[in-house]
Chains A and B, each alone.
Chain A
Amino acid sequence: MSIFTHLGRYMLTLKGMFARPENPKMYWREFMHQCVEIGIGSLPIVLIISAFLGAVMTVQTSYQLVSNLIPKSTIAVVVRDSLLLELSPTVISVVLAGVVGSKIASELGNMRISEQIDALEIMGINTKTYLIAPKILASLITVPMLISLSIIVAIWGGRVVGDLAGVIDTDSYDRGLREEFIPFNVTVAMTKAFVFAFLLSSVSAFFGYHVRGGAFEIGRSSTRAVVVSCILILLADYVLTLLMLNP
């Protein structure tokens, strides 16, 4: 199948989601369930990765800024902006593409193979609206939250490790965090978070929903969902950076 066929089917799948819910209460329940699955379910891995991300970033930045002419607080400025503009949104989204994306793809793939999606269709339920839309909406809500949390935890991780390793004291770090802060960077981070959330959830749902075959194909579609999501996230990262940060 050509890339255009996949793209066409992807667009049709997304279009198919826009239908009136049979029972809004049930859709709300499914949406909340997905928020818990995606948001709370991914919280531990996001927190662990973020803490280490900030810690490593602080130590590495101090290693590179060896001149006595550069104030120590610059380390915190570099760490803050790197985490905000690039590391937290991109790294966490790539991790979530693996954690959440593969889960979405294999869950839908398993439902397809075991005819559970057909069973829903027979009941007269729009399966794209019921199964895919809540996952995408839940991702759009929870992934930016996770990324916001990741930025905070990573900055905190850098502060703790910077102090423990004797790289930068907490006062200089805190001062650095407040120096030359550009609020627009938060907008960039959140824009990236929303776009990446949409990509990782919709692409994974697409691959899972259209599985044909058996257990082997579920595994393959799950892998493909993660790979394609990661590539698209990196591509979107590049495009958004060009659009939003190119002077």
Chain B
Amino acid sequence: MITARNIKKSFGEKTVLFDISADFLPGKCNLIIGSSGSGKTVFQKCIVGLFTPDSGEVLYEDQNMHTMSTEERKKLRQEIGMLFQGSALFDSMTVEQNILFPLEMLTNEPQRKRLDRVNEVLEKVNLTGSNKKYPAELSGGMKKRVGIARAIVLNPRYLFCDEPNSGLDPQTSLLIDKLIKDITTEFNITTIVNTHDMNSVMEIGDHIIYMYQGYKEWEGNREEIIFSDNKRLNEFIFASEFLQDAKEQRMRDLRSKG
């Protein structure tokens, strides 16, 4: 289980996170939602160790990430996979080399076995045969899928995704969501996704944290979100008339199911 306790983070005069605490459910899709500038990315980067919080602690199975030794942190990081907002693929490497990189750097397996693993994860993300393509030759959705393949190639225990659907069309967004959900379930990974995509919230959100201007405003699951009377949350999630109608329809459906 990943636990964040009383996380505070400022950049110069500007405070971005105010005393945020949260537990992330193991083996589930945990979503951090909020409008742009609400502090989601900073919070996630604090959890993953790319930023050091000004105060508070991040515990991975009760071990504080920010006080452990360099070697321990290195070991922990090898259990973490991350999909970045811009995919963060290495431009000068092919798809195969991108995914092979962590395997070559961190494992002692024979090259044949590594290549088999690369093909296995490429098949998982439906990109079989794209081995020799360069990132510049890929669409946004394909880049995200390569990013996911690279993130899961070492069989991580924890998967972090920063805005996996940003810049993608709705259909590709659904595919990415489904992929994240499938991987989480199949490999029993603890997944933490930053998003402001409403489809993601309703489709894959097992546990949802809503952030507002650096504070944790609300926490619950995707059914509770429908019935929540939190004004800010409702304004954020069900911003349009269309989404309001969809919410009411979903409420009726859930009530009729009891």
What is A's interface to B at a CB cutoff of 8 Å? 19, 22-23, 25-26, 110, 114-116, 118-119, 121-126
Contact = CB atoms under 8 A, between A and B. Distances in A.
Nearest to B84: A115
A191 to B, nearest CB: 34
A191 B93 CA distance: 37
Interface string B59-80: 0000000000010011111101
Interface of B: 45, 48-50, 70, 73-78, 80-82, 84-86, 88-91, 101-102, 104-106, 150, 154, 160
A110 B105 CA distance: 22
B88 A118 contact: yes
Contacts of B85: 115
A121 B80 CA distance: 10
B40 to A, nearest CB: 15
Contacts of A119: 82, 84, 88, 90, 150
Contacts of A115: 84-86, 88
A122 B104 contact: no
Contacts, number: 58
Nearest to A29: B104
B69 to A, nearest CB: 13
Given A121-B50, A122-B77, 14 more contacts: A115-B88, A118-B82, A118-B84, A122-B80, A122-B81, A122-B160, A123-B77, A123-B105, A124-B74, A124-B75, A124-B78, A125-B105, A125-B106, A126-B74
Contacts of A26: 104-105
Contacts of B50: 118, 121-122
B79 to A, nearest CB: 9
